């Protein structure tokens, strides 16, 4: 006859609890990300009117530290141009249209 073993306690938590971020740290990071996005969006809104006339539907990759932007018809190529020119900097890509959205909803 088979012996029944006591049920193992349920495991809860994550694999590396020492790497868990506090709610305050998560909120701080979210606020920083939102502030950085707003900086990108402000730059985009400033250059969009002049670029949308000739390059409607193209993609613009913005690098804020230099104030430079790169445009291309293909989103991936715009990303690649930004990575090649500024390999250690962050960039953001928008579509040159009314909303700036790069995908479909």
60-74: pLDDT as tens digits:
999 998 889 999 999
Q: Render pLDDT for 45-63 as a digit per residue (tens, 0 to 9).
A: 999 999 999 999 999 999 9
38 φ, ψ (degrees, to nearest 5): -65, -35
Indicate the burial class of 61 (C-beta count within 10 angstroms; 0-12, 13-18, 19 or more).
buried
CA distances from 8 to 4, 84, 92 (A): 12, 53, 48
What is the spatial distance between Cα 27 and Cα 6, in angstroms, rounded to a whole number? 41
What is the spatial distance between Cα 41 and Cα 7, in angstroms, rounded to a whole number? 54
Mean pLDDT across 92-98: 91
pTM, two decimals, is 0.74
The whole-number pLDDT of residue 18 equals: 73
């Amino acid at each position: 006859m088979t012996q029944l073993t006591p049920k193992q306690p349920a495991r809860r938590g994550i694999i590396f609890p020492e790497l868990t971020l506090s709610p305050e740290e998560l909120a701080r990071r979210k606020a920083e990300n939102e502030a950085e996005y707003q900086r990108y969006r402000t730059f985009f809104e400033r250059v969009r009117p002049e670029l949308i006339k000739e390059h409607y539907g193209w993609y613009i990759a913005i690098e804020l530290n230099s104030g430079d932007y790169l445009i291309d018809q293909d989103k991936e190529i715009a990303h690649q141009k930004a990575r090649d020119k500024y390999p250690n900097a962050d960039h953001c890509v928008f579509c040159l249209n009314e909303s700036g959205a790069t995908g479909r909803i």
